[in-house]
Amino acid sequence: MKKGLLKPVMYGALGVALLLGSCSKDNDPNPNPDPDPDPSGETRWVTLTAALKRTTDGDGDGGTYAYAVTPEQAADPNHTVRIFDAGQGYHLKSERTARVQASEDGQYLYNIQYVGADGGIFNKYKISGAGSFEEIGNEVNTAIILGTAPRWTKATEGIGVGVYASALTTFTGTTVANYAFTGITSTVRIATLDLNNPSITNTAEFEFPFTQELIDEGYSVSRIDIPILNQAKNKIFIGCQVNKVDPTGTPTVGTNGLPAWPNDAENRTLGTVTLVVDYPSLRNPTFIESGITNLNNHSYRTMTQHLATDGHVYQSISFTGGGGPYILRIDKNTSKYDDSYEFNLDDALNVTGSRIRSWRYIKDGVAVVLYDTGSGTGGHLAIIDLNAKTGTKLSTELEAELDFQQQQGIAIVGDNVYLPLTPVTKDGNVYVINWKTKSITKGAKLVNGTGHRFIGSY
């Protein structure tokens, strides 16, 4: 384990809450070919999302469609969803893949648009079934603090947290012969949102609280993601992409004319890092470090941190940069990693080289996991028990063709998990998992499009 690296540092830059709000400019949802069976609007919807191809098959960068079904429709193999057909799915506002979140009751979707002219704009949608989604509340401009490519999550019900980090290398000298590394400044920006009445409630900006010793060794943070609020609602935990360069190495000059020092990841000794700030003040930034792994946990479009029934936060390792089978625990009492706890998916399933791609905590230590086995192809499902540290693999006929790189939400209603699974371009189904009995059945048919794929449920 690594000792003595944790030194809290506070930076007092707290931004003013900002809101640029107006009613949505285009409240005309697509025609609804499958009317709401409950005019009261209280139907529990399962919203399916699918990502469009932009340039290459499966890149998911062409935008996102949404389509809502009832749990009964989702479980019905005779029900067909044609999300890409004209007038069917709803095209969520976002130039690239929408980073969708949802209310626990299935009534609302939330999204912050990613890049483009409206990058950073928050939208809230009321769900009415099939392709009927109505923009409600204010459009909120988070780009003021987070830029046009923010990462964000529903950190707990009714509260959103957007985050962004950037890294800037500092140096002396004017040529390769005399360049000297002086450090990398990692700047963090955070904004909290009221999801019930869309608005920004607080903002903050500060330098990542690494010690000077770590900065001198070449450590920096270039991306942060997956913020979650703890049980006490007084701390936010944020996953980090930690980088290390060799400050003594010979730099190369990039196309921007600036020097870049050689990557030194193989000599990284710093463990998995999570940024911690107080909530709601967003002050007192510090970081905690795992003594179990030194892999990153900043994720990629999917939740990798979940608040469990026991009050602890459980966190998987991000599959970007290699990934791994680990789920770590942040103790509810200390707000630090509990290095006495480690869940290893390899051990739980008796497999080798597993990488957790996405997962969702359910209840009482039980979770559903989407994973691969390191080959770069194939996608598998399992129900795991975080308390017993065991797991049960669930088989589908699609697992050899699945790729969970774009995976986002996982819907749970009662005893059932609803997973839309389609290989790129090919049709698939909603798969329904009873997490108590560990049974899996095929539900609604999902009609795909060339280069596209389904990526989530809410």
Question: What's the pLDDT band for 321 if we cut at 50, 70, 90?
Answer: low
**Quick one: which of 201, 262, 268 has its CA closest to 241?**
268
What does the alpha-carbon distance between residue 390 and residue 367 come to, in Å, rounded to a whole number? 11
DSSP code for 265: G
User: Do 186 and 219 contact (CB within 8 A), yes or no?
Assistant: no
Nearest to 107 by CA among 133, 87, 132, 127: 127
DSSP conformational letter for 253: E
To the question of pTM greater than 0.85 for the whole model, the response is yes
**CA-to-CA separations, 411 to 47, 58, 69, 131, 225, in angstroms, rounded:** 8, 22, 12, 18, 21
Model confidence pLDDT, tens digit, residues 205-215: 999 999 999 99
In 233-289, where do the E strands start and end? 235-244, 252-253, 259-260, 273-278, 286-289
Report yes or no: 19 and 421 within 8 Å, Cβ to Cβ.
no
Cβ burial, residue 425 (10 Å; 0-12/13-18/19+): middle
Instruction: Report the C-alpha gap between 411 and 416 in whole angstroms.
Output: 8
pLDDT at position 314? 98
Predicted confidence (pLDDT) per residue in 22-53, tens digit: 333 343 333 333 444 444 458 999 999 999 99
Counting every residue, how long is the chain?
Answer: 458
| DSSP run (H or E) holding 350 | none
Per-residue confidence at 374, pLDDT binned at 50, 70, 90?
Answer: confident
